[in-house]
Amino acid sequence: MTESRLKPLVGKIRRVQDLASLHTDLAIALESMDALDVLVATPDTSDINRHVTEAALLNSAIMLYARATKTTSKQRRNFDLRTRFSPEELVVHEELVDLRDEAIAHFGFGGSYQGLWHVEVVILQTTKGNARPGVVTRRQMRDKKLIARARKQIELAHSLIRQISDQKINEMTDELNKMDPDLFQREISKHPLNLEVAIASKDAADIVRSSADQGGYIRGVVRG
């Protein structure tokens, strides 16, 4: 990695890895939205477990979206998609990022979000001449219009990142093809990978290997 002759290749490998990670965040965000849609489509009930699950899925999707499209990290370079959004899409982007920054990850009222994400009110309760203070708390568990906006925006970002990722993979492939075959073999042999260990499952590793023929986003489940 420190050899100057390999720096172009190393940079492309790192960029592909970063973009794949961003793509995975957005893919999982969409899976959360899929699960949320199933719950929202069923008859409503007063089951608190259901409403907590709905809120958790929405919060997770919003946090993953913001992490992939806005949040910076020392471990992963981001990709700024804002120039690729229309003015209307940029409004929704800012709304989701504000919710993450000012309501979900940190306490606040959601910035540009126009709903009431949190409400806390101190009240005086009176009963038969007695009075005592109390606190009424309200939390946003479901907002169907926000869910629709979030899904559309996440799908857009997911598609854009996938296109950029494919482009960078092609650029990395071109760089690999420039290498001397003997040098390529020597460099690859320095970095062996045991997929069963890395993925923590032989079955999941086999699924990963199958992606060489199938292409695209391959997923599996590892149960401990």
The 10s digit of each residue's pLDDT in 26-50 is 999 999 999 999 999 988 888 899 9
Cα–Cα distance for residue pair 168/186, rounded to 1 Å? 24
- Any residues with CB less than 8 A from the CB of 201 and at least 6 apart, and which? 220, 222, 223
Domain ranges of the chain: 4-192, 195-224
- How far is it, in rounded angstroms, from Cα 104 to Cα 99? 6
pLDDT in tens, 112-135: 998 889 899 999 999 888 999 999
Residue 84, class by beta-carbon neighbours within 10 Å (0-12 exposed, 13-18 middle, 19+ buried)?
middle
Amino acid 27: pLDDT: 96
The pLDDT of residue 2: 54
User: Which residue bears the tokens 């913001």?
Assistant: 66
List Cβ neighbours of 155 (8 Å cut-off, separation of 6 or more).
30
Low-confidence ranges of the chain (pLDDT < 50): 1
Q: Is the pTM of this model over 0.85?
A: yes
Asked if 66 and 97 touch (Cβ cutoff 8 Å), the reply is yes
Contact 60, 29 (CB under 8 A): yes
